[in-house]
Structure 1
Amino acid sequence: MNRIKISGVLRKIFLCFIASAISIGSLCSAVLATEGGGCAYPNGAEGSLAAALPPPGLYYINYLVHYASDRLDNKNGDKVPIDFHARVSANASRILYMSDKEILGGQLGAYGIVTLMNASANTSMGSKTKSGLGDLTVGPVLAWHFNKNLHAATALDITAPVGEYNKNDIINLGRNYWTFEPIVGVTYLGDNGIELTTKFMYDFNTKNNATDYTSGQEFHIDYATGYQVGSWKFGAEGYFYKQVTNDHGAGAAANDGNKGQVFAAGPAVKYDFKTGGFLELKYAKEMFVENRPEGDKFLCKLVIPF
């Protein structure tokens, strides 16, 4: 692999994730899917009760995420032979407002997410660390409570490129393009304490005018299973990501469109506060990775009603 391809890989690492149900989000390479490694949304950020939205009111949701990767995988799932170590930590604050208004029988709400990040890379091409504001996400949401067991929600994440970006850097806090992400989620809460939750997302990305590169469309799912015991819930959570259309730009055609994929799974535990809200901790191990970094993700989610 020559120097041009390696430097392209390193520029393309950040950010495939970081923050929450949320989104946040750099150059085309012959190895990684989409610019930044793919996905403005931080896969796995949501889990338990993702589609069982709360009653009317104002809520604060904090997401703390740490991602660590020491390898890049190519389109065959094999490790790219370069020295690579990356770490990303983010703290995202989401304000969620659920109104008492209804549209199509669903409860209307809206949210905004602001993310502070620290990203670092240590590679054979050099080292770099950045801290600051990531991209901004806002959107409307509709929630349905069909009965005490079955809940659903739909939303539209709109991620604006406000984070710091330089096409010549190996890491970036922003992605320098807009992402529009329709969302559908379903949560089932059984009388026996079982929970099953899925959150389906599909991303449409605009062109990065700094690089003349357009990332492909992306399909991804957050999932959660759990069993409630008193105030505690124990289970397994994770995510699946698959890029479904080709990237367009320099280097994409040579790598079959730079399509990426990843599956992740791990344990999760949740504690419900008596005053409302909850705290959730989880770990996700990535596997079956193609055209992306492969690593480990640690997440903490705190929900506080006002």
Structure 2
Amino acid sequence: MLGYVNPSKTLFAFFSPSFAVPSGAYSANRIANTGLNTYAFLPYLGVTWFPHPDWEISTVTVLEMNSPNHATQYHSGAVAVLDYLIGYSINKRLQLGVQGTFLKQLTDDTQNGVKVGSDGFRGQAVAIGPQLRYMWGPASGIVVKYQHEFAVRNRPQGDKLWVQFSFPL
């Protein structure tokens, strides 16, 4: 991982060249498999900027490039994902924000080297929603997020609600 912090400690950035490998057994005849039976390269860039001590603007960008699934001859296209947050800290413990994601498939899905469907089965999705973060310690807290999805194409669509916890190990 490569990182950068500006001298005033108001801008943070990091880059990580991540990789994913197949895990678990795979069978093209199974109704469900736990993985896609592919390798993936996932370069990851995160940036956080504090334009004012009470304000945070953060983004995480990931580009996912998969190898073909040799059991099915299916090759999923490259996907770019941008997650974002604009947050305002009411005090040292409580932050309210607006967050969401943009997802866009950049290349076609193929099977046996042939484009899938008339549009290459290129997916896309946009989501936005509120976020609440409460920190009860220096590295311990909870985040509650809700996202409403729209402009979805060639992907499952639905609203999301989730809770994240952080604590030191």
TM-score of the aligned structures, taking structure 1 as reference length? 0.51
Structure 1 residue runs of 5 or longer lacking an equivalent are 1-140
- For the structure 1 residues 162 and 218, does the alpha-carbon distance in structure 2 shift closer, same or farther, using more than 3 Å as the test? same
- Counterpart residue number, 2:156: 293
User: Within 5 Å, which residues of 2 pair with 1:154-233?
Assistant: 154-230=15-91, 231-233=93-95
How much is the aligned-residue C-alpha RMSD, in angstroms? 1.8
User: Within 5 Å, which residues of 2 pair with 1:70-149?
Assistant: 141-146=1-6, 147-149=8-10
**Residue type of the alignment partner of 1:299:** W
- For the structure 1 residues 169 and 287, does the alpha-carbon distance in structure 2 shift closer, same or farther, using more than 3 Å as the test? farther
Following TM superposition, by how much is the alpha carbon of 1:164 offset from its aligned partner in structure 2, in angstroms?
4.9
User: Structure 2 residue aligned with 1:264, among 116, 127, 133?
Assistant: 127
**Which structure has the higher relative contact order (CA within 8 Å, separation 6+)?**
1
User: Within 5 Å, which residues of 2 pair with 1:14-53?
Assistant: none
**Residue type of the alignment partner of 2:50:** L
Give 1 or 2: higher helix fraction.
1
Task: Answer whether contact 1:163 1:175 (CA < 8 A) is retained.
Answer: no
**Partners of 1:241 and 1:193 in 2: how far apart?**
28
Structure 2 residue runs of 5 or longer lacking an equivalent are none
**Partners of 2:37 and 2:43 in 1: how far apart?**
20
Following TM superposition, by how much is the alpha carbon of 1:143 offset from its aligned partner in structure 2, in angstroms?
2.3
- Counterpart residue number, 2:100: 238
**Partners of 2:84 and 2:29 in 1: how far apart?**
36
Give 1 or 2: higher strand fraction.
2
**Partners of 1:263 and 1:175 in 2: how far apart?**
23
Number of equivalent positions:
166
**Residue type of the alignment partner of 1:242:** K
Following TM superposition, by how much is the alpha carbon of 1:254 offset from its aligned partner in structure 2, in angstroms?
2.9
Following TM superposition, by how much is the alpha carbon of 1:226 offset from its aligned partner in structure 2, in angstroms?
0.7
**Residue type of the alignment partner of 2:126:** F
- Counterpart residue number, 2:145: 282
Q: Secondary structure at the match of 1:294?
A: coil
Following TM superposition, by how much is the alpha carbon of 1:186 offset from its aligned partner in structure 2, in angstroms?
0.9
TM-score of the aligned structures, taking structure 2 as reference length? 0.89
Following TM superposition, by how much is the alpha carbon of 1:276 offset from its aligned partner in structure 2, in angstroms?
2.2
Following TM superposition, by how much is the alpha carbon of 1:305 offset from its aligned partner in structure 2, in angstroms?
2.0
What's the CA shift string for 1:190-234, capped at 9, x where partnerless? Answer: 334111111111111101011011111111101111100120000
Following TM superposition, by how much is the alpha carbon of 1:166 offset from its aligned partner in structure 2, in angstroms?
3.1
User: Structure 1 residue aligned with 2:11, among 150, 172, 192?
Assistant: 150
**Partners of 1:214 and 1:292 in 2: how far apart?**
16
